[in-house]
Amino acid sequence: MALFRVLGPLRVGPDATNSQPGRPSERALLGGLLFHANRFVSKARLAEFIWTVPPSSADANIRTYAAFVRRSLDDAAPGLSARLETRRGAGGAYRLAVADDEFDAAVFRALADEGRSRLTAGDPSGAVTRLRRALSIWTGPAGEDLPDTSAVRACVADLEDRRTRAREDLAEALVALGDPAAAVADLQLLASRNPLRERPVHLLMSALYTDGEPAEAVAAYHRHRRTLRDETGCDPSPRLQASYVRMLRHAST
């Protein structure tokens, strides 16, 4: 059971619907601790999660925020504040002890990695089961109620990239299972949101081609090539071009 959630709004406790530190600064502190779960995090590093430019009072403020976080942890589940450890000296640091099965991001990573391993091993059915479970954990954009600081953005970007890869892996597994139609809609969304990313375009072309829509597969390639040329001045990779030529021949027969 996840006690800590960042795949969507930050939430703490067995009831993930309403337990959270109340103020943005406290959520940012807790978010920084969760993104570095089980490791001591310096106050200087935690300040990067809270402020774009830390104030001169950052050290004292962080101590205050940590006290509020302790209270919010106990409000979420009695005794949970014991998980938050303090290390004094050399600027000070904090560590939040979190088991892997208590943290939604850790559960997601484990399932997504297992899904990819199953896909690589030639078990698309097992991959689909695990990847769907992994993606079902998400309730919104990662850390969506955390401040927009560079440290938060970097951690969120890593999680969102893993989410994209898991969606791509799921689409590939569905195509391998002979169900390309189930993958098309999500691949179209991924391709539109990541216009310079090649893999969703390649998978979309493959799904459309396998589903008996070679002309649509060719059209997807042309859209990607135009975007790539407009944005970077480059052409698609040789691998994608080879897929395009094969599908173009089929579409013209």
Q: Does domain 180-253 have CATH number 3.40.190.150?
A: no
pLDDT value for 248: 82
User: pLDDT in tens for each of the 253 residues of the chain?
Assistant: 678 999 999 999 886 565 677 789 999 999 999 999 999 999 999 999 999 999 999 999 999 999 999 999 998 889 999 999 999 877 899 999 999 999 999 999 999 999 999 999 999 999 999 999 999 999 999 999 999 999 999 999 999 999 999 999 999 999 999 999 999 999 999 999 999 999 999 999 999 999 999 989 999 999 999 999 999 999 999 999 999 998 888 766 6
pLDDT value for 20: 72
What sign does the dihedral 151-157-158-159 (CA atoms) show? positive
CATH class label, 4-100:
mainly alpha
Closest CA to 39 of 104, 97, 103, 116: 97
Q: Is the CB of residue 84 less than 8 Å from the CB of residue 66? A: yes
- Strand, helix or coil for residue 163: helix
From-to residues of CATH 1.10.10.10 in the chain: 4-100
pLDDT value for 1: 64
This prediction's pTM: 0.91
Question: How far is the C-alpha of 123 from the C-alpha of 177, rounded, in Å?
Answer: 9
- Strand, helix or coil for residue 41: strand
Angstrom CA distances, 231 to 91, 204, 226, stand at 45, 21, 9
From-to residues of CATH 1.25.40.10 in the chain: 180-253
